[in-house]
Structure 1
């Protein structure tokens, strides 16, 4: 069996419904089947879902006529007959099918899961925050190595005192120089410059975006320590900017370097003001940035928070393309910037992949997982044996996973109740079995009990959520069935029609002989037809063809000559062509070997050769068309066989309900 990638389009391609109109909602509470195929009942909702989905894809609002409805129903029945046959052949039990279906199921369920809605919320929140940039100063107080609880409390008290001092009028920047343990505080006085969402650790970002200009935060705990944050400014996000620059470096080890660099950048700036000066030449001759000096100083596009603050502020202060900044001092030296372009913040759709990637790499992913677990536990009635879990934590956290089983057996904990979720109860032995199954795929021996327990609970709850979806979410049920049946349909068609039609050479020849009347040549002639597009080339073409006899060699010579010298002068068609179906040959005098005719406003030069009467084609001349027709024949024959094999009964009452539902 050959399996190929299946998509939602496959159903439409194979069934080819005559689909028009708008989206259709399934009929709720429907119990009677629309039809039975063999001994399988087919629901009204499945028919409405598939037809309605296709109608929506057409994007029109016209009602479905009775004739179109009947055609769709017949095609739907053919579809269900093929699915029934695929199941009868056991195609749904193969390893290949299960692998492909499981892969699709993972993709299909994702938008319906709790996790997806939580992630979507974080994505939207991040993009909303990105509409604004914030300038903030902070003081960082770190914990001492191996800090005790008393040490942590002391750091917190100090942070609270600093907050009080700032609120009483002290400068956060002065206090940062004196107290902050951020190494950059001695140079930037705690001023972080402007930043936007996803550029700071999450707790810091959350606190900063909750503050108004001038407000001071409570102590904010991050992995670095406690922060006191004061917002200095908030403004709309200016988007992205691209600049080119000239750099004159400063060697901090040379006391004279600063003065020399300052004088040099001043001279360069003066030179740039001259109207005859070329920016690119100045950059090439004087810039000390080896990465950009040979490229006109051009830097990639960047947004707020991606460059050092002094450089960034100078770049975003430029307003007109080509505008040049005064010299700017950074820790790298002195710069002169020229604005090359500005553009607004990208749309959510453009930024979504980047936002998602960052969110899933930082602490937000853990937060999303915790929220997901909390919602699942509430939804599925998760109840934990807290006393037992406490004993397991104490006994198993100090050891690695391979040693869990021995400790559990020693303490006879295997059959004890661990937790319940949904209507199921899980024992410690179930937990051990989960670890055993997972360790065959994961190298996770170093993970402690807490991590394994969290993973086990997540696995159980995720399984419950998926089963809940499959049982109670009608849209997901329909989508899952569509893909399952679509893969089976594809597999059956590949086996019984497509591959057979390609590989069965004897069947092709027999079909060709039995339907020879379909493969007939009309009257034909050898011809070279030249459509003149450039009248300046007419005489040269005319002289090459007039008084000549048609041959393939002459046709190829003509094509080669003008393809090389004047490729747009002519459109050329040559070979043995059917006369009635050719718009030029059907209007020429077949008794003249060379002639010129005007058709649809264009002059055509026509050179004729031998003519051939109408007659049958050879198999080799039409093999591709025969294969296509043979495959259609095999499909029709398959449907005929299946209709005899699987009796179809239609519930006329439910059928009428379907027609009404599709036209509401």
Structure 2
């Protein structure tokens, strides 16, 4: 009995030990298991699902279609992170040249963000808001007063305009009367100074600022200076803007070389207009049979939707937006020819987001320069910028004023004490002459400047303006997440590029000894296609092209005429000769391929003009020689060797940095979000 109890006790002890052991194993297993959110680990780094998904969407733009695509990207992403670890391990991120490059990129990126957020975005929004209305203007012109030598007397003109402005503001007479009495506008008898309807972004920025800040019946608060003189503006009316119209037109293209074609075009379109007014045909029928715009004629002249101020010929736009829906214009002359226009339909302005890109182009073309200068001037005052005139004069006394900033060593005549002196000062501190000299050396816009006092001041201000602007960008890494991300991506991609250059490309330089066997093995891949060589005489006038042909027929040398008269830039020195081209490269090559060597063509319509060509040589397809294929061979050979070296190198990095991947966890990436039990 005692033995039985002892055996039971031993069994219980063993069971307890087994339970403890099992529990320990279970606890150890639970503690050592990798979370589903981890996709890869390496020494000093971990790739988790959120980072993987973010990078995937940023680089691939759309979610993966299958597990294979997920796995492929995981491999790419782990290699990317391994390279960053290796670059850091090698100290490439501490390299001075690398840090300078990243700093330069940071500064340029920061300035882009600064001007975009401080000027462009607010300016574009203001432009959009203003363009919801259009304004009707009237003006009185004070033209430039001139001296006896026909130069402009700006001071007298300004005083005359200011006196006129004071009289206009205080006179009891109507503005119409004052215009007829005093305006120097040659068209006042016909227009009484009325300029019609305008929309923001279609005229001077200063005019927009004034006319959208006053009410109908009021005068602009300031004179506007233009090439014609000074203008006094009055706002006559404002109304909701018409921005989107769908026009149709009937076009007669004018032959600018035929002075009688304008008369013929007007007569032809007059008959078309008369047929329309008499109801003999519809606009669509007349466009189909009479319009020389082949693109729109087949659809009854329909040009599709057009937005005011966006890529429209000015005279066409003015005529178009003065028509109501269904109304037909008189004959309009534009840069494209003569038109009859009809408005088919109209729609409200597009929302801001749909207009944003077009408005940004308008803003940058029409207004950015003025807003930028105003921004710069304001910041100079805010930062109390002052130029040291004494030091600027010392510079002028020491340099050779007959040379430019691009002349080597132009600054070497500057004494040490002048180089160390401050040329200007702001609240950020002084800027020395040495700082300005270094900026001139590295700044492309500072080259080829004569060493005059005004240029020295201008270059010093450029240095100060950039320093002030960069001071405005302090903290952008925290303020703008996109800025921080772009800077991080540039830094990482540059590190990896430098690392690969060092570990791969610097070690696969090919010699001729290695290249020639490679060429022998692959030379059939390096072939010239059938090629042709020709000389060309190019002109924008077909009549002139035929005159050149007549001269050649009467004994003139083709290439002499080409060297002297061709209007294609870059071909004067080659006597009109092009390099060898594949026979299907362009229309001239195709034509030359069908001709005989030495044969001369009739005029060929090409690239907006007319070409006469002479075939100089024709070659059948052939294998390139070693020298002809050298550059391609080097690229291909280095690529092959580089790829092989990269794979071996990457395998070494995976071992060195203890990479462990968990592809089974990819099923936890891009999991559809469930809403009410349904997958989205």
TM-score by length of 2: 0.51
Kindly tell me: are residues 635 and 499 of structure 1, through their superposed partners in 2, closer, same or farther at Cα, counting changes over 3 Å?
farther
Q: In the alignment, what sits opposite 1:218?
A: 221
Q: In the alignment, what sits opposite 1:617?
A: none
Q: In the alignment, what sits opposite 1:235?
A: 239
Counterparts of 1:258-657 in structure 2, within 5 Å, are 267-271=274-278, 273=279, 277-283=281-287, 296-298=300-302, 301-304=305-308, 312=318, 317-319=323-325, 323=326, 325=327, 328=330, 337-362=341-366, 364-372=368-376, 374-375=378-379, 378=382, 381=383, 383-388=385-390, 391=393, 401-402=404-405, 409=414, 413-421=418-426, 424-438=429-443, 442-445=447-450, 448-465=455-472, 468-469=474-475, 475=481, 476=483, 480-489=487-496, 638-643=653-658
Q: Deviations over 1:179-208 (max 9, x none)?
A: 333444454332222121111111111111
Q: CA–CA distance in 1 between the matches of 2:500 and 2:389?
A: 58
Q: CA–CA distance in 2 between the matches of 1:199 and 1:416?
A: 48
Q: Is the 8 A contact 2:224 2:232 kept in 1?
A: no
Q: Deviations over 1:86-130 (max 9, x none)?
A: 133355578997898578646753564256422221121112212
Q: CA–CA distance in 1 between the matches of 2:207 and 2:38?
A: 53
Q: Is the 8 A contact 1:140 1:182 kept in 2?
A: yes
Kindly tell me: are residues 401 and 451 of structure 1, through their superposed partners in 2, closer, same or farther at Cα, counting changes over 3 Å?
farther
Q: Is the 8 A contact 1:497 1:631 kept in 2?
A: yes
Q: CA–CA distance in 1 between the matches of 2:174 and 2:101?
A: 65
Q: Is the 8 A contact 1:414 1:427 kept in 2?
A: yes
Counterparts of 1:33-44 in structure 2, within 5 Å, are none
Find the partner of 2:209 among 206, 209, 228. 206
Q: In the alignment, what sits opposite 2:30?
A: none
Counterparts of 1:60-99 in structure 2, within 5 Å, are 82-89=83-90, 91-92=92-93
Kindly tell me: are residues 210 and 465 of structure 1, through their superposed partners in 2, closer, same or farther at Cα, counting changes over 3 Å?
closer
Structure 2 stretches lacking a partner, 5+ long: 1-35, 60-75, 146-150, 254-258, 508-642, 660-680
Aligned residues: 450
Note the C-alpha offset of 1:248. 9.9
SS in structure 1 of the partner of residue 420 of structure 2: coil
Q: In the alignment, what sits opposite 1:132?
A: 133
Q: CA–CA distance in 2 between the matches of 1:52 and 1:114?
A: 32
Q: CA–CA distance in 1 between the matches of 2:297 and 2:122?
A: 44
Q: Is the 8 A contact 2:139 2:194 kept in 1?
A: yes
Q: In the alignment, what sits opposite 2:168?
A: 162
Kindly tell me: are residues 214 and 388 of structure 1, through their superposed partners in 2, closer, same or farther at Cα, counting changes over 3 Å?
same
SS in structure 1 of the partner of residue 174 of structure 2: coil
The answer to which structure, 1 or 2, has the higher relative contact order (CA under 8 A, 6+ apart) is 1
Q: CA–CA distance in 1 between the matches of 2:87 and 2:107?
A: 23
Q: CA–CA distance in 1 between the matches of 2:372 and 2:110?
A: 18
Q: Is the 8 A contact 2:276 2:282 kept in 1?
A: no
Note the C-alpha offset of 1:52. 11
Note the C-alpha offset of 1:642. 1.8
Q: CA–CA distance in 2 between the matches of 1:283 and 1:196?
A: 30
Q: CA–CA distance in 1 between the matches of 2:495 and 2:415?
A: 50
Structure 1 stretches lacking a partner, 5+ long: 1-16, 21-34, 59-74, 501-627, 645-664
Note the C-alpha offset of 1:263. 8.4
Q: In the alignment, what sits opposite 2:31?
A: none
Q: In the alignment, what sits opposite 1:109?
A: 110
Q: In the alignment, what sits opposite 1:149?
A: 155
Note the C-alpha offset of 1:377. 6.8
SS in structure 1 of the partner of residue 219 of structure 2: coil
- Superposed CA RMSD in Å reads 5.8
Q: Is the 8 A contact 2:110 2:476 kept in 1?
A: no
Q: In the alignment, what sits opposite 1:191?
A: 194
